[in-house]
Structure 1
Amino acid sequence: MSDVTRLPDLASRALGGAVVAANDEFFAAKENLVLPEPPVARTEFGHKGKEYDGWETRRRRSPGSDWAVVRLGAPGIVAGVVVDTAFFTGNYPPRASLDGAAVEGHPSVDELLKADWQPLLPLSDLAGGTANAFAVTSDRRVTHVRLAIHPDGGVARLRVHGTVVPDPRLVDAGPFDLAALENGAQVTAVSNEFYGRPDQLIGRGLARSMGEGWETARRRDQGNDWVEVSLACEGVVTLAELDTSWFLGNAPGSAALTGIGPAGEVVPLLPRTRLQPDTRHRFVLASAPGVERVRLDVFPDGGMARLRLWGRPTAAGRSALGRRWFDALPEVQALEVLGSAGVPPDEAGRLVGARPLTGDLPPAVRRLLDGNRLLGGDRLLDGDRV
């Protein structure tokens, strides 16, 4: 994808992102940085001065720089950053940089400040009143980013665009939404997105309005609209949810789901089925082989709030998910992950240095990378088929 801003904003509040710490937020709150809505002009004045829709620090009277730490809503690999200084003209920072860190669990602020921060964006010039966009070259998964502004000033929004890399250990707990953006699914093709972005279909939580779904223009021909989703991994879909909440006079009349397998084979999942407006439709699907992509066809057009595809990964899908995740971990976190799995430090160091891992591996490592469950009646025991 050439335009990295088409990739999900991993830091967005809509995906669960949050600004967990900042050294200063005297004029405007740090939480504004990750709001999903575009910044707006503010004209009122408060007790501390003019109000701004963004994060703004006081004027520094000592050397240094200001910073804010953001927990990504979905950890992943960063491909681009937008430091938006909209409406900050005489008070924007002239330069900024961005670092990333990967931390296990749910760290405190003190733990985050001591994390192994690695550069993602070097110190770069900014313009005022501008969505300053920068490409990022990285192959490592991060859970947090730290924006530093030099020396001080205001930033309206921080967008951290990239590819979601989910933690496969969470997948092993049970069925999960194979189509969820936070689990690594992506919208790969769409017929029309006139009124609403299709990636909102697979967003987090329930839609709060019609504006938080996917909606097409009105069709004036005999065709129909559709959207294709690349799943988090190859999996068997057992339950589909087609949610038309908020869509009253513009919901599709009917819909169908079709899967595409790893060799391009077509797998019918849900035949064309009547839909109702403003309704969460749930359909238990007949047994079918694993698929990598799913196409949703709506007839003839209209809008939908959410698409959920619940199921389990196939053995090949779980293995691909686990190995992609482990290969993308920074060294410090990879060592910590292996240590928590019971791998001795010397062996863990050797394995991390040998990524991507192939050949015979210790059972604990195979269980971590490939999972311990299979579909279709097969079982795994310590990573071995029995």
Structure 2
Amino acid sequence: MTTSKTPSGTPSSASSSTSFTGDARPFGGGDPYADYRRAELPFTDLVDLADRRLGAGVIAANDEFFAERENLLIPEPAHFDPEHFGHKGKIMDGWETRRRRGTGTDTPHPVDADHDWALIRLGAPGVIRGIVVDTAHFRGNYPQSVSIEATAHSLSASPEDLLAEGVEWTTIVPRTAVGGHAANGFVVEVDRRFTHLRLNQHPDGGVARLRVYGEVAPDPGWLAELGTFDLVALENGGTVEDASDRFYSSPVNTILPGRSRKMDDGWETRRRRDKGNDWVQYRLVAQGVVRAVEIDTAYLKGNSAGWAALFVQDDGSDEWTQLLPRTKLQPDTVHRFLVNPVPATRVRIDIFPDGGISRLRLHGSLTARGAEQLTTRTEEIS
């Protein structure tokens, strides 16, 4: 691992997971994703720490002449309209800077150190395991190479705070050639907690989307002051470990911040034709006790789960303890239950027979053991 007082592009503990280089072919009509280059990546089942729904944002960029920096974090894939032009040229769904030039007639080309940059605030602090620099639809106007640096700071830090002298930046992706119209993936092997990134593109060009996959590492002090909080919320470090079905939408949606805003903003399974049931298994941020439960079926009107039951399990035990007996659910409704607190690290919701829920909230607090383990882990990665 290498660190620097200012961003520098020095080598680090990161390796390219894909090897796309060079231009993609010019768009010839039809489906613009037909020749999009991608590969299976080992980290994309983790949380996107740069998800706007968690509060992530692109807080500064040195140039965004052709396309705005905020496009980098739009959750949906980049859109391409071949007829969409404006006064500045082709309008792209991504972040695109103007073409760099040299200093004069005798030196028309940019020098090796020239680059553009954008500062990204993660939605939640975390340990980064992999990054995708997506150049979708940037076929001949993508950067020649990229590098990425990370730092740990206050989540509310201003661009001036982050660029101040003395701020330590760690290079997590060294300067690496990338390809156009491709999902350029990088494995990150720096086991540290970060809050902000600096994406550098050398020397200029465009990037459609940035995805930052990893594990949320919350602030133990903040959670301790809250006392009672949602033990399974994604922003607090809760995770989905497994699920019986992910056909229509991801179970991770059930622990996102806020209320669901449409049907596919929750978890919905395919229709069962057997006598079984569907389920999701979660891991809490650390060992805790749940005292109050919310099961929300918002926007699931004809496809809500009919009944639900909750079970908890603690590390070191194979037994599941019932927290909430099988209980009838109503469509498009917030259901609230008070339960007996039982120390646990995992929770499973069973729904009967199929359908979905939009959100699950498990309000409670950490046990002394859970708080100690979370503090120790945070110190190890800080």
TM class by shorter-chain length? 0.7 to 0.9
| Aligned Cα root-mean-square deviation (Å) | 1.1
* Superposition deviation, residue 113 in structure 1: 1.0
* Superposition deviation, residue 104 in structure 1: 3.0
* Aligned-partner Cα distance in 1 for 2:177–2:267: 36
Q: Determine what percentage of the aligned residue pairs are the same residue.
A: 52
Q: In the alignment, does 2:331 pair up with 1:277?
A: yes
Of stretches 247-256 and 31-40 in structure 1, the one that deviates more from structure 2 is 31-40
* Superposition deviation, residue 78 in structure 1: 0.5
Residue number among 224, 241, 244 corresponding to 1:188 in the alignment? 241
Seen in structure 2, the aligned counterparts of structure 1 residues 214 and 59 have a Cα distance that, compared at 3 Å, is same
Residue 179 of structure 2 corresponds to: 127
Residue 251 of structure 1 corresponds to: 304
Seen in structure 2, the aligned counterparts of structure 1 residues 197 and 75 have a Cα distance that, compared at 3 Å, is same
Residue 72 of structure 1 corresponds to: 122
In structure 2, the residue corresponding to 1:14 is in which secondary structure? helix
TM-score, length-normalised on structure 2?
0.84
Q: How many residues align?
A: 327
Residue 54 of structure 1 corresponds to: 94
Residue 169 of structure 1 corresponds to: 221
In structure 1, the residue corresponding to 2:190 is in which secondary structure? coil
Runs of at least 4 residues off by over 3 Å? none
Q: In the alignment, does 2:188 pair up with 1:136?
A: yes
Aligned counterparts, 1:180-329, within 5 A: 180-264=233-317, 265-286=319-340, 288-329=341-382
Of stretches 257-266 and 148-157 in structure 1, the one that deviates more from structure 2 is 257-266
Residue 338 of structure 1 corresponds to: none
* Superposition deviation, residue 108 in structure 1: 1.6
* Superposition deviation, residue 105 in structure 1: 5.3
* Superposition deviation, residue 261 in structure 1: 1.3
* Aligned-partner Cα distance in 1 for 2:74–2:373: 33
* Aligned-partner Cα distance in 2 for 1:142–1:42: 36
* Aligned-partner Cα distance in 2 for 1:179–1:42: 40
More helix by share: 1
TM-score, length-normalised on structure 1?
0.83
Aligned counterparts, 1:327-338, within 5 A: 327-329=380-382
In structure 1, the residue corresponding to 2:371 is in which secondary structure? helix
* Aligned-partner Cα distance in 2 for 1:91–1:211: 34
User: What are the ranges of 5 or more consecutive residues in structure 1 without an aligned counterpart?
Assistant: 330-386
**What CA deviation, in whole Å up to 9, does each residue of 1:37-90 have, x standing for no partner?**
111112311111111111000001143100001000011010000000001101
* Aligned-partner Cα distance in 1 for 2:214–2:176: 19
User: What are the ranges of 5 or more consecutive residues in structure 2 without an aligned counterpart?
Assistant: 1-40, 103-109
Partner letter of residue 153 of structure 1?
G
Residue 9 of structure 2 corresponds to: none
**What CA deviation, in whole Å up to 9, does each residue of 1:138-183 have, x standing for no partner?**
1110000110001111100000000110001111122011011111
